[in-house]
Amino acid sequence: MRAGHVSNARRRMPMGQLAAMYQKACLTRLHGVHVLLFNIGQVPEPPFHGLKTAELWRTELTPPKTPPALAAPVTRWLSGRLQTSDRAESVRHSRDAFRYFLRWLADAHPDVDAMTQLERRHVEGFMAHLHEHTNARTGRPLTARSRYTYLSLLLQFFRETSQWGWSDVPGRPLLGRSDMPKLPSALPRFIPRAELDRLMEAVEELEDPHQRAALLLLRWNGARRGEIARLTLDCLDAYPDGYPRLRIPVGKTYTERMVPLHPQAADALRELIDAAKAANAAARHDAWAQRPVRYVFMRRGKPMGRHFLYEDALEIACRKASRVRRRPGRAAARGPAGFEGAERTRLW
């Protein structure tokens, strides 16, 4: 790395930090070239998202210092789920929950170094820990949903491995359904009509057409945010009477479906489809559909991020509508989820 590669303001920085910054800048430029070459048909492989060639969590399914006799059955079970129809994100949540349990086990029972040594008393101790533990980030006890997530994973692991006859596991269920926390069932809170009307007026005034269309679709069709972000160029047509309808791609439910679409959202979506066809971005392999597709929400040959489409857009609209958030951090991040759930319930 020559001195000419570094601006004067950064020449006093440590060489290691400069090298890392220079490497990141080079990778960013190479990524841009890869995106360009892919979209003009010069290279067949699509560019990786975020310059990462692999997800590191797949290679770290258990904590680093976990005894081999504890880590081996967990790694085998999680790897098997990765090779089935389970979503990678679901397996990652399972992996995170197992790592939490293994770290607790190492602190509370350091003498346990094999899965076959686990007994009911160990699981009872873990349940008591979950009930008494305080979340360091919120300062509150773990919710029933969080405790259910941790325990249901162990229940499934012990039940399945005992049925399969694995020799390196306890060989019997150490948990039962009666151990699971009872979960309250609540509907999303409706947005009052006056506030919703004021918010939608602000949405219609959004400058970016992609953000405006994303929130209108979220408002009018009841689809999930991920499904909307993966809409294809042939997703919009009409019923015999001319009323618009939307084909929602395969998603969490593994089912493609048709739903009626409000003309306001259809007009906004039709504008984006025309723009995407004119841009003529290359088709990308969709992991859900198992085939190459051409997405609607694309910019410069790359799929648009959900944070930009929903979080940023809803934050701008809420400010315009004078809906002040009490907790701008986590509340802003969860805003689109609450909006999605409330409007889906309203449509149902």
Q: Are 242 and 236 in contact (CB under 8 A)?
A: no
Both 198 and 343 in one domain: the answer is yes
The verdict on residue 187 lying in a domain is no
Angle at 175 between CA 148 and CA 89, to 5 degrees: 45
The whole-angstrom distance between residue 195's C-alpha and the CA centroid of its chain comes to 28
If asked whether residues 16 and 74 sit together in one domain, one would say no
Looking at the fold, whether 166 and 212 belong to one and the same domain comes out as no
Q: What is the pLDDT of residues 147-163, one digit of tens each?
A: 999 999 999 999 999 99
Split at pLDDT 50, 70, 90, the class of 262 is very high
User: Of 146, 174, 202, which one is at a domain's C-terminal end?
Assistant: 174
The pLDDT of residue 344: 55
Residue 277: per-residue pLDDT: 92
Q: Are residues 44 and 121 in the same domain?
A: no
Q: Are residues 226 and 107 in the same domain?
A: no
Is pLDDT above 70 for 210?
A: yes
Residue 243 lies in a domain: yes
Global pTM exceeds 0.75: no
309 and 227, same structural domain? Answer: yes
Instruction: Give the number of domains in the chain.
Output: 3
DSSP alpha helices (H): ranges in the chain?
Answer: 15-39, 68-82, 88-108, 120-132, 144-164, 193-204, 209-220, 225-229, 263-279, 306, 313-320, 330-347
Chain centre to alpha carbon of residue 226? 8
- Tell me, what amino acid is at 211? Q
Beta-carbon contacts of residue 85 (< 8 Å; ≥ 6 apart) = 254
DSSP-assigned beta bridge partners for residue 246: 236, 259
Task: Look up the domain containing 248 and give its range.
Answer: 193-347
Q: Is residue 260 part of a domain?
A: yes
Residues 6+ apart with CB under 8 A from 69: 113, 114, 115, 116, 168
Residue 186 inside a domain? The answer is: no
What's residue 247's pLDDT?
Answer: 94
Instruction: Please tell me which residue, 267 or 49, carries the higher pLDDT value.
Output: 267
Whether 223 is covered by a domain: the verdict is yes
